[in-house]
């Protein structure tokens, strides 16, 4: 990790985890102490576990977040959950615009922007995900896609405290494939440029995470790339030993 921005290692558990998963989370809490000097740690379990994890994490070195929220604070939206509800449970951050939600639920940049604003309304940090598909990369459109998604998903009120951007090439998520470090560097430099142009000094401090098949064996190399300020980790965040090893790579 070469930049002055403090790294953030975020685990996205997706639709994995039962009450019995508390033991794994406790192992993360137990091992996080020495890593806190290097990086912030955040775990986003499924909504069903956010309250229990947050209660267990109180006073510890791993924060707890959620994976999605509704734009509204409350109302007639059966099955949905608001940012305020997650705050009430002790969450500090919410992922919005993950490519799986964009694909599975047809989420648009405009909706993601509303969700990010909802996260801020609740006083939490929004982790806004962007990234290109394989077809888009092959067509040379990676930077265009990132530019469009950033423009559409980010609000004018973005600050280094309320926003984290996660660059996640869709083709790298859950596949074991990763871009070259040169490719990661190019995209992160581009994102940093977009952020500083729009948000000036704040944009220089917004954390830009890389996500997509991060594991203990490649974390240090990826985290050393300029403008990579941490990772969004899916599969490897389910095991405390892997998640902690990734954080150790910062
Ligand atoms: C993700 O879901 O955000 C992700 C990066 O998954 P994985 O680490 O499993 O590729």
pLDDT for the residue 115: 98
CA distance 10 to 173: 14
- Domain-embedded: residue 152: yes
Residue 215's CATH number: 3.20.20.70
pLDDT for the residue 2: 43
Token pair for residue 63?
A: 């924060």
Domain that holds residue 51: 8-73+82-248
Q: If you average pLDDT over residues 201-222, what whole number do you get? A: 98
CA distance 160 to 154: 12
* 93 vs 157 pLDDT, higher one: 93
Average pLDDT, the chain: 97
pLDDT for the residue 111: 98
Count other Cβ atoms within 10 Å, centred on residue 15.
9
**Residues paired with 9 in a beta bridge:** 41, 231
Known catalytic membership, residue 135: no
**Top mutation candidate among 99, 103, 232, 239 for ligand 1, by most atoms within 8 Å of CB:** 232
Known catalytic membership, residue 186: no
Does 1 have pLDDT greater than 50?
Answer: no
Task: Show the beta-strand stretches assigned E in 53-124.
Answer: 62-66, 93-96
pLDDT for the residue 4: 80
Q: If you average pLDDT over residues 121-132, what whole number do you get? A: 98
The DSSP annotation for 203-250 comes to: HHHSEEEEESS--HHHHHHHHTSTT--EEEESGGGGSHHHHHHHHHT-
Please, are residues 73 and 41 in contact by the beta-carbon 8 Å criterion?
Answer: no
134-166 residue pLDDT tens: 999 999 999 999 999 999 999 998 999 999 999
Q: What is the DSSP letter of 73?
A: S
Cα(170) to ligand 1 centroid in Å equals 9
- Domain-embedded: residue 3: no
What predicted TM-score, i.e. pTM, was given to this entire model?
Answer: 0.98
Look at residue 57 and give its three-state secondary structure: helix
- Domain-embedded: residue 1: no
- Domain-embedded: residue 211: yes
Count other Cβ atoms within 10 Å, centred on residue 100.
20
CA distance 204 to 224: 17
- Domain-embedded: residue 27: yes
Cα(128) to ligand 1 centroid in Å equals 14
Count of structural domains within the chain: 1
**Top mutation candidate among 93, 171, 211, 239 for ligand 1, by most atoms within 8 Å of CB:** 211
- Domain-embedded: residue 2: no
- Domain-embedded: residue 15: yes
pLDDT band at residue 42, thresholds of 50, 70 and 90?
A: very high
- Domain-embedded: residue 181: yes
């Amino acid at each position: 990790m070469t930049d002055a921005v403090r790294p953030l290692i975020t685990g996205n558990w997706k639709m994995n985890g039962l009450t019995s998963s508390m033991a794994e989370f406790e192992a993360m809490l137990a091992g996080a102490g020495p890593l806190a000097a290097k990086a912030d740690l955040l775990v986003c379990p499924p909504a069903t576990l956010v309250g229990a994890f947050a209660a267990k994490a109180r006073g510890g070195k791993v924060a707890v977040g959620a994976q999605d929220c509704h734009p509204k604070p409350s109302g007639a939206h059966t099955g949905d959950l608001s940012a305020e509800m997650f705050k009430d449970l002790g969450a500090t951050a919410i992922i919005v615009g993950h490519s799986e939600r964009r694909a599975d639920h047809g989420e648009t940049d405009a909706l993601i922007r509303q969700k990010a604003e909802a996260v801020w309304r609740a006083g939490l940090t929004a982790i806004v995900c962007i990234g290109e598909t394989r077809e888009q990369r092959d067509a040379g459109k990676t930077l265009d896609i990132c530019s469009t998604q950033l423009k559409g998903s980010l609000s004018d009120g973005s600050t280094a405290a309320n926003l984290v951007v996660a660059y996640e090439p869709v083709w790298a998520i859950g596949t074991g494939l990763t871009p070259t470090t040169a490719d990661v560097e190019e995209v992160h430099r581009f994102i940093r440029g977009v952020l500083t142009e729009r948000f000036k000094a704040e944009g220089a401090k917004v954390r830009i995470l890389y996500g997509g098949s991060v594991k203990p064996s490649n974390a240090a190399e990826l985290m050393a790339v300029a403008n990579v300020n941490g990772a969004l980790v899916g599969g490897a965040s389910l095991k405390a030993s892997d998640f902690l090893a990734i954080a150790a790579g910062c």
